[in-house]
């Protein structure tokens, strides 16, 4: 099941700098950014071993209205997404 993690508010852009994922069970995991008319996979992990930690770092800009979604197959998953929100002029 896909879960919405964050929706960028109108008049802002979000910059994702870091994502961390912990799985207490073996799982398939991906994070995708999508909005009406486009979608793109930001991070994909396959065959994640139990009790493992993974990190992604970068600079991904999400325009107003974009939705950050996550999917994990398995139980005991934790994702932390960090970055910052900018107000458009």
Sign of CA dihedral 77, 83, 87, 89: negative
Average pLDDT over the chain, rounded to whole? 86
pLDDT of residue 27: 74
CATH assignment of 2-87?
2.60.120
pLDDT of residue 70: 87
Longest dimension (CA), the chain: 45
Q: What is the tally of helices (H) and strands (E) in the chain?
A: 0, 7
Q: Quick check: 64 pLDDT over 70?
A: yes
User: Contact at 8 Å (CB) between 12 and 62?
Assistant: no
Alpha-carbon distance 45 to 31, whole Å? 9
Q: Is the full-model pTM beyond 0.95? A: no
């Amino acid at each position: 099941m896909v879960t919405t993690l964050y929706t960028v508010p109108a008049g802002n852009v979000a910059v994702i700098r870091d994502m961390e994922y912990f799985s207490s069970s073996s799982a398939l995991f991906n994070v995708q950014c999508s909005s009406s008319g486009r979608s793109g996979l930001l991070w994909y992990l396959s065959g994640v071993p139990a009790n493992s930690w993974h990190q992604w770092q970068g600079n991904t800009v999400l325009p107003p209205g974009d939705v950050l979604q996550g999917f994990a197959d398995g139980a005991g998953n934790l994702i932390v997404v960090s970055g910052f929100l900018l107000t458009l002029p």
